[in-house]
Each structure stands twice: as C-alpha cells, then as structure tokens.
Structure 1
Amino acid sequence: MATIVMLGKLADLAQAATIDLPLPLSKPLDWEGLKAALPSALAEALDDPRIRVAINGALLPNKAKLQAGAGDEIALLPPVSGG
C-alpha cells in the first residue's frame, strides 16, 4: 500500500486529500501505473507538465522516474498560484 497525497486543485479533482493505493508485489509503482490507478479526471490533470511529484518528502526532478514501493508516500503538487 502507498499513500497518495493530493494538494490544491488535485485534491478537489480526487474528492479527497489522500488515497491509499494497493501496490503490486512484483514491481514498484511507476508514473504510468500511478496514473492508471487514479480516477480519470485526476489522471488527466497529471499530464500538466507543471505538476510536481515528491516521494517520501523528496521532490523528484522527473516525475516519469517515479518508483514507489509499499509504505511510500507520493505527493502530487499542483503549480503554486497567488501573487
């Protein structure tokens, strides 16, 4: 199981701030696998190149390199707005 944490508009799309996601035992969760496991509206929003991803508090320089395992926390970070 991995915990997916969504912030801002991503939490609104998911209708939840967190989702507990069962993981396959045979391989780590990658970016495409994560998107496939999420609700379609949320998965589509993740195609925005401004969306950032952190795993266990460490920001990934390239979200396509995601490799998550059991017990990991994956944070999905929308672009910062404000002024």
Structure 2
Amino acid sequence: MIVTHPFHPWSGRRVQVCRTVRRSGNLVFVCTAGDGMTVTLPQAWTDRAPVAGENRLAMEGLCALSALVNALVSRCGEPSRGGTS
C-alpha cells in the first residue's frame, strides 16, 4: 500500500499492512515500512481510498428522480390557500 496524504512524513512511501481495524466506523490500517516503525493510517490517506465521487448519483438517475417528483407534484394539484374551501 502507498501513503498518499501529501503532508504525512511517509507520503509516497510503500508500506506493509500488518492488520486492518475499524475505529469510529472508519477503516484504518496498522502498517510498517520495514524499519521497525509502525503507523496507523486512515484509509483516506492511502491508495486504497475510495475514488472521489464513486458513490455519487449518475446524471440519468437524477433526471429520472426529477421526472418522478414532477409527476407526483402535478398529481397533487395546487395546494389550497387558507384552509378549507
């Protein structure tokens, strides 16, 4: 695994993952660089981080959702003003 965080002292360095753990719901790696030192790295600071935007909705899905909302709103008609009519 490679450390990618630009301000980490091991940035760009290949490290060996000793184990993975979850802390506060986030994946972290306990790593060594072969010199006996270990470090715990959040997944976001490594080349194993999810690709940015990977979990975003696709344009097609957003368009379909917009069409559905518009259809539902048009079925309801305009809301009455001032209570009962």
TM-score, length basis structure 1 = 0.27
Higher relative contact order (CA 8 A, sep 6+): 1
Larger-Rg structure: 2
TM-score, length basis structure 2 = 0.26
